[in-house]
Amino acid sequence: MTLDELAHLGLPEQPLRVPAWTLGCFRRRSITFHTGAMDTRTSVLWLQTNGLTADLRLAPDRPDLCGRASLDQCTDDELMALAEAQGWLADTAWDGAQMSWSNATAFQLHDKWPEPALLSRVGDCLIEFAPSGVYVEDWRLQPSAPGPLIGLRLLEERDLTRQEIRHRGGGLILCGDHAAFIRGRPAPLAYGGRLEALVQENLGNRSMLQAIFAFETSYAVGNMVALSTNPLREGQTLLSHDGFSFDAARGLVLQTVVEDGVSLERRFTVDTLRPDFKTVLETPATQDAKDWLETEHAMLLRHADRES
Protein backbone atom coordinates (compact mmCIF):
# COMPACT_ATOMS: atom_id res chain seq x y z
CA MET A 1 0.00 0.00 0.00
CA THR A 2 0.99 3.64 -0.34
CA LEU A 3 1.64 6.08 2.49
CA ASP A 4 -1.71 7.73 1.81
CA GLU A 5 -3.47 4.36 2.00
CA LEU A 6 -1.62 3.65 5.24
CA ALA A 7 -2.93 6.89 6.72
CA HIS A 8 -6.48 5.85 5.76
CA LEU A 9 -6.32 2.41 7.47
CA GLY A 10 -8.46 3.66 10.32
CA LEU A 11 -6.14 2.57 13.11
CA PRO A 12 -7.05 3.79 16.62
CA GLU A 13 -6.02 7.42 17.00
CA GLN A 14 -3.05 7.94 19.31
CA PRO A 15 -3.69 10.40 22.18
CA LEU A 16 -2.54 13.92 21.35
CA ARG A 17 0.55 14.53 23.48
CA VAL A 18 1.22 18.09 22.32
CA PRO A 19 -1.06 21.10 21.74
CA ALA A 20 -2.89 20.94 18.40
CA TRP A 21 -1.44 24.35 17.50
CA THR A 22 2.07 22.86 17.41
CA LEU A 23 1.23 20.27 14.71
CA GLY A 24 2.63 20.79 11.22
CA CYS A 25 5.74 22.26 9.65
CA PHE A 26 7.36 25.46 10.92
CA ARG A 27 10.24 27.44 9.40
CA ARG A 28 12.31 29.60 11.71
CA ARG A 29 12.32 33.30 10.88
CA SER A 30 14.88 34.30 13.50
CA ILE A 31 16.64 33.50 16.74
CA THR A 32 17.61 36.32 19.11
CA PHE A 33 20.06 35.78 21.95
CA HIS A 34 20.22 37.57 25.29
CA THR A 35 23.26 39.52 24.01
CA GLY A 36 21.11 41.16 21.33
CA ALA A 37 22.68 39.10 18.50
CA MET A 38 20.14 37.81 15.99
CA ASP A 39 20.38 35.14 13.26
CA THR A 40 17.95 35.27 10.35
CA ARG A 41 20.13 33.39 7.83
CA THR A 42 20.41 29.82 9.13
CA SER A 43 17.84 27.53 7.47
CA VAL A 44 15.84 25.81 10.22
CA LEU A 45 12.78 23.52 9.88
CA TRP A 46 10.65 21.94 12.59
CA LEU A 47 8.05 19.25 11.81
CA GLN A 48 5.70 18.04 14.56
CA THR A 49 3.30 15.12 14.98
CA ASN A 50 1.45 13.82 18.04
CA GLY A 51 4.65 12.76 19.77
CA LEU A 52 7.59 13.17 17.38
CA THR A 53 9.69 16.20 16.45
CA ALA A 54 11.99 16.45 13.43
CA ASP A 55 14.51 19.30 13.31
CA LEU A 56 16.97 20.41 10.62
CA ARG A 57 19.45 23.33 10.87
CA LEU A 58 21.85 24.29 8.06
CA ALA A 59 24.32 27.17 7.93
CA PRO A 60 23.96 29.64 5.05
CA ASP A 61 27.62 29.23 4.05
CA ARG A 62 27.76 25.45 3.88
CA PRO A 63 29.62 24.01 0.87
CA ASP A 64 28.09 23.85 -2.61
CA LEU A 65 28.66 20.27 -3.75
CA CYS A 66 27.21 20.71 -7.23
CA GLY A 67 28.89 18.26 -9.60
CA ARG A 68 30.17 15.92 -6.86
CA ALA A 69 29.24 12.25 -7.05
CA SER A 70 29.92 11.46 -3.39
CA LEU A 71 31.30 12.90 -0.18
CA ASP A 72 34.59 11.16 -1.04
CA GLN A 73 35.18 14.03 -3.50
CA CYS A 74 34.96 16.70 -0.79
CA THR A 75 37.96 18.61 0.48
CA ASP A 76 38.92 18.51 4.16
CA ASP A 77 37.52 22.02 4.66
CA GLU A 78 34.22 20.99 3.06
CA LEU A 79 33.92 17.94 5.29
CA MET A 80 34.58 20.08 8.36
CA ALA A 81 31.83 22.48 7.26
CA LEU A 82 29.37 19.63 6.61
CA ALA A 83 30.01 18.39 10.17
CA GLU A 84 28.35 21.56 11.50
CA ALA A 85 24.89 20.53 10.24
CA GLN A 86 22.21 19.67 12.79
CA GLY A 87 19.41 17.20 12.23
CA TRP A 88 17.46 14.95 14.54
CA LEU A 89 14.23 13.19 15.44
CA ALA A 90 13.08 12.85 19.04
CA ASP A 91 10.11 11.94 21.22
CA THR A 92 8.14 14.98 22.36
CA ALA A 93 6.65 15.65 25.80
CA TRP A 94 4.35 18.49 26.93
CA ASP A 95 3.65 19.39 30.56
CA GLY A 96 1.03 22.05 29.90
CA ALA A 97 3.53 24.88 29.55
CA GLN A 98 6.83 23.47 28.28
CA MET A 99 7.83 21.15 25.46
CA SER A 100 10.81 18.86 25.95
CA TRP A 101 12.54 16.15 23.94
CA SER A 102 14.14 12.76 24.63
CA ASN A 103 15.34 9.58 22.90
CA ALA A 104 16.85 11.51 20.01
CA THR A 105 18.43 10.09 16.87
CA ALA A 106 20.82 12.91 15.98
CA PHE A 107 23.62 13.77 13.57
CA GLN A 108 25.52 15.65 16.26
CA LEU A 109 27.07 13.71 19.14
CA HIS A 110 26.07 16.10 21.91
CA ASP A 111 22.85 17.99 22.64
CA LYS A 112 23.31 21.52 21.33
CA TRP A 113 19.86 22.58 22.59
CA PRO A 114 19.44 21.12 26.11
CA GLU A 115 16.66 23.42 27.36
CA PRO A 116 12.93 22.72 27.13
CA ALA A 117 10.76 25.24 25.27
CA LEU A 118 8.14 27.69 26.50
CA LEU A 119 5.76 28.04 23.55
CA SER A 120 3.06 30.49 22.53
CA ARG A 121 1.36 30.91 19.16
CA VAL A 122 -0.67 33.73 17.57
CA GLY A 123 -1.81 33.22 13.99
CA ASP A 124 1.00 31.60 12.04
CA CYS A 125 3.65 32.87 14.51
CA LEU A 126 4.97 30.38 17.07
CA ILE A 127 7.33 31.91 19.64
CA GLU A 128 9.74 29.67 21.56
CA PHE A 129 11.41 31.01 24.70
CA ALA A 130 14.32 29.30 26.43
CA PRO A 131 13.33 29.18 30.13
CA SER A 132 16.78 30.53 31.03
CA GLY A 133 16.22 33.64 28.91
CA VAL A 134 19.28 32.97 26.72
CA TYR A 135 17.35 33.00 23.41
CA VAL A 136 13.96 33.34 21.75
CA GLU A 137 13.02 31.81 18.39
CA ASP A 138 10.36 33.07 15.96
CA TRP A 139 8.80 30.21 13.95
CA ARG A 140 6.22 30.48 11.16
CA LEU A 141 3.71 27.77 10.24
CA GLN A 142 4.16 26.70 6.63
CA PRO A 143 0.91 26.56 4.63
CA SER A 144 -0.03 23.26 3.06
CA ALA A 145 -2.81 21.70 1.05
CA PRO A 146 -4.85 19.21 3.11
CA GLY A 147 -3.19 15.84 3.41
CA PRO A 148 -2.08 13.19 5.86
CA LEU A 149 -0.30 13.79 9.15
CA ILE A 150 2.05 10.83 9.57
CA GLY A 151 4.66 10.12 12.21
CA LEU A 152 6.64 6.87 12.01
CA ARG A 153 9.69 6.09 14.13
CA LEU A 154 12.28 4.10 12.17
CA LEU A 155 13.63 1.05 13.95
CA GLU A 156 15.95 -0.07 11.16
CA GLU A 157 16.58 0.00 7.43
CA ARG A 158 18.03 -3.25 6.06
CA ASP A 159 19.68 -4.06 2.73
CA LEU A 160 17.89 -7.30 1.86
CA THR A 161 20.51 -8.43 -0.64
CA ARG A 162 23.50 -8.04 1.66
CA GLN A 163 21.48 -8.71 4.81
CA GLU A 164 23.05 -5.80 6.62
CA ILE A 165 21.71 -2.82 8.54
CA ARG A 166 22.12 0.45 6.63
CA HIS A 167 20.42 2.73 9.16
CA ARG A 168 19.15 2.36 12.72
CA GLY A 169 16.87 4.90 14.39
CA GLY A 170 15.22 8.00 12.99
CA GLY A 171 11.81 8.33 11.42
CA LEU A 172 9.46 9.75 8.82
CA ILE A 173 7.15 12.72 9.30
CA LEU A 174 4.59 14.00 6.78
CA CYS A 175 2.60 17.19 7.40
CA GLY A 176 0.55 17.60 4.23
CA ASP A 177 2.96 18.94 1.59
CA HIS A 178 5.95 18.89 3.95
CA ALA A 179 8.04 15.88 5.00
CA ALA A 180 11.17 14.97 6.90
CA PHE A 181 13.09 11.68 6.72
CA ILE A 182 15.71 10.92 9.36
CA ARG A 183 17.96 7.86 9.11
CA GLY A 184 20.45 7.20 11.89
CA ARG A 185 23.87 5.63 11.67
CA PRO A 186 23.92 1.81 11.57
CA ALA A 187 25.92 1.79 14.81
CA PRO A 188 26.73 4.48 17.41
CA LEU A 189 30.05 6.27 17.12
CA ALA A 190 32.29 5.36 20.05
CA TYR A 191 33.38 8.91 20.77
CA GLY A 192 32.67 11.20 23.66
CA GLY A 193 33.52 14.56 22.10
CA ARG A 194 32.08 16.86 19.46
CA LEU A 195 31.40 15.71 15.91
CA GLU A 196 33.62 18.33 14.28
CA ALA A 197 36.54 17.15 16.44
CA LEU A 198 35.94 13.55 15.38
CA VAL A 199 35.93 14.59 11.71
CA GLN A 200 39.13 16.60 12.25
CA GLU A 201 40.84 13.58 13.80
CA ASN A 202 39.81 11.30 10.92
CA LEU A 203 40.44 13.40 7.82
CA GLY A 204 41.90 10.95 5.33
CA ASN A 205 40.36 7.91 7.07
CA ARG A 206 37.78 6.98 4.44
CA SER A 207 36.05 4.18 6.36
CA MET A 208 35.65 6.30 9.50
CA LEU A 209 34.36 9.27 7.53
CA GLN A 210 31.80 7.02 5.89
CA ALA A 211 30.64 5.91 9.33
CA ILE A 212 30.43 9.51 10.56
CA PHE A 213 28.36 10.71 7.59
CA ALA A 214 26.14 7.60 7.39
CA PHE A 215 23.29 9.76 8.70
CA GLU A 216 20.56 11.75 7.00
CA THR A 217 18.03 14.37 7.95
CA SER A 218 16.25 15.56 4.81
CA TYR A 219 13.36 17.99 4.38
CA ALA A 220 11.14 17.72 1.32
CA VAL A 221 8.24 19.55 -0.27
CA GLY A 222 6.05 17.29 -2.36
CA ASN A 223 8.52 14.37 -1.90
CA MET A 224 11.42 16.32 -3.46
CA VAL A 225 14.33 16.96 -1.10
CA ALA A 226 14.84 20.70 -0.65
CA LEU A 227 17.36 20.69 2.23
CA SER A 228 19.46 17.95 3.79
CA THR A 229 22.39 17.32 6.11
CA ASN A 230 23.80 15.61 2.99
CA PRO A 231 23.66 18.21 0.18
CA LEU A 232 23.96 15.43 -2.40
CA ARG A 233 20.39 14.39 -1.50
CA GLU A 234 18.93 17.74 -2.49
CA GLY A 235 16.89 17.58 -5.67
CA GLN A 236 16.29 13.85 -5.26
CA THR A 237 13.13 11.97 -4.28
CA LEU A 238 12.81 11.75 -0.51
CA LEU A 239 11.62 8.13 -0.52
CA SER A 240 9.22 5.84 -2.34
CA HIS A 241 5.61 6.16 -1.15
CA ASP A 242 4.87 2.54 -2.12
CA GLY A 243 5.56 -0.84 -0.55
CA PHE A 244 4.02 -0.22 2.88
CA SER A 245 2.14 -2.76 4.97
CA PHE A 246 0.87 -2.93 8.53
CA ASP A 247 1.78 -5.87 10.75
CA ALA A 248 -1.07 -5.79 13.25
CA ALA A 249 0.34 -8.62 15.37
CA ARG A 250 3.53 -6.69 16.12
CA GLY A 251 2.13 -3.19 15.70
CA LEU A 252 4.75 -2.39 13.05
CA VAL A 253 4.65 -0.59 9.73
CA LEU A 254 6.88 -2.30 7.17
CA GLN A 255 8.14 -0.98 3.86
CA THR A 256 9.70 -3.28 1.29
CA VAL A 257 10.92 -1.37 -1.73
CA VAL A 258 13.67 -1.06 -4.32
CA GLU A 259 15.38 2.36 -4.29
CA ASP A 260 18.41 3.19 -6.41
CA GLY A 261 18.65 -0.48 -7.37
CA VAL A 262 18.85 -1.67 -3.74
CA SER A 263 16.20 -3.91 -2.15
CA LEU A 264 15.32 -2.43 1.23
CA GLU A 265 13.15 -3.28 4.19
CA ARG A 266 12.25 -0.56 6.69
CA ARG A 267 10.57 -1.22 10.03
CA PHE A 268 8.69 1.52 11.83
CA THR A 269 6.56 1.96 14.93
CA VAL A 270 3.51 4.21 14.67
CA ASP A 271 3.20 7.59 16.35
CA THR A 272 0.60 9.31 14.15
CA LEU A 273 -1.57 8.20 11.23
CA ARG A 274 -4.15 10.85 10.43
CA PRO A 275 -5.57 11.13 6.88
CA ASP A 276 -7.11 14.59 7.07
CA PHE A 277 -4.56 17.09 8.41
CA LYS A 278 -4.73 20.72 7.31
CA THR A 279 -2.89 23.79 8.51
CA VAL A 280 -4.96 26.35 10.40
CA LEU A 281 -3.50 29.84 10.62
CA GLU A 282 -6.11 31.31 12.97
CA THR A 283 -5.68 31.00 16.73
CA PRO A 284 -8.06 31.86 19.62
CA ALA A 285 -8.57 35.36 21.02
CA THR A 286 -11.06 36.92 23.44
CA GLN A 287 -14.27 38.33 22.06
CA ASP A 288 -13.27 41.84 23.21
CA ALA A 289 -10.04 41.50 21.23
CA LYS A 290 -11.93 40.29 18.15
CA ASP A 291 -14.30 43.23 18.44
CA TRP A 292 -11.34 45.64 18.70
CA LEU A 293 -9.73 44.18 15.58
CA GLU A 294 -12.99 44.42 13.67
CA THR A 295 -13.36 48.07 14.70
CA GLU A 296 -9.77 48.95 13.73
CA HIS A 297 -9.34 46.60 10.78
CA ALA A 298 -9.35 49.31 8.12
CA MET A 299 -6.00 50.58 9.38
CA LEU A 300 -4.53 47.52 11.10
CA LEU A 301 -5.19 44.97 8.34
CA ARG A 302 -4.68 47.23 5.31
CA HIS A 303 -1.22 45.87 4.60
CA ALA A 304 -1.59 42.46 6.24
CA ASP A 305 -1.76 39.12 4.47
CA ARG A 306 -1.99 35.46 5.45
CA GLU A 307 1.25 34.29 3.90
CA SER A 308 4.11 32.84 5.96
Mean pLDDT of the chain: 94
Tell me which amino acid residue 43 is: S
- Specify the pLDDT at position 306: 61
Give the pLDDT band of residue 303 (cuts 50, 70, 90). Answer: confident
How far is residue 13's CA from residue 50's CA, in Å, rounded to a whole number?
10
Strand intervals (E) in the chain: 24-33, 38-39, 43-48, 52-58, 86-94, 98-106, 117-122, 125-129, 135-141, 147-159, 164-168, 170-175, 178-183, 216-221, 224-228, 244-247, 252-259, 262-277
Instruction: Give the pTM.
Output: 0.95
SS3 160: coil
Tell whether the model's pLDDT for residue 126 goes beyond 70.
yes
User: Which of 87, 100, 102, 94 is closest to 44 using CA atoms?
Assistant: 87
First to last CA, the chain: 34
Find the range with the poorest average confidence among 10-14, 153-157, 303-307.
303-307
Which segment of 164-173, 251-260, 295-304 scores lowest on mean pLDDT? 295-304
Q: Which fold has domain 3-300?
A: Lipocalin (2.40.128)
Of 33 and 278, the one with more pLDDT: 33
Strands 43-48 and 164-168: unpaired
CB atoms within 10 A of CB 41: 9
Q: What is the pLDDT of residues 50-106, one digit of tens each?
A: 999 999 999 999 998 988 889 999 999 999 999 999 999 999 999 999 999 999 999
Going from the C-alpha of 77 to that of each of 42, 73, 148, 177, the distances in angstroms are: 19, 12, 41, 35
Look at residues 236, 240, 230, 250 and name the one whose alpha carbon lies nearest to residue 183: 230
Positive or negative, the CA dihedral 21, 23, 28, 31 is positive
Q: How far are the Cα atoms of 42, 113, 136, 285 from residue 105, in angstroms, in the given order? A: 21, 14, 24, 37
Average pLDDT over residues 248-260: 94
For 152-202, how does the pLDDT look when each residue is reduced to its tens digit (9 = 90+)?
999 999 999 999 999 999 999 999 999 999 999 999 998 989 999 999 999
Residue whose C-alpha is closest to residue 38's, from 30, 46, 48: 30
CB-CB contact of 237 with 257 (8 Å): no
Q: What angle do CA 132, 134, 137 make, to 5 degrees?
A: 105
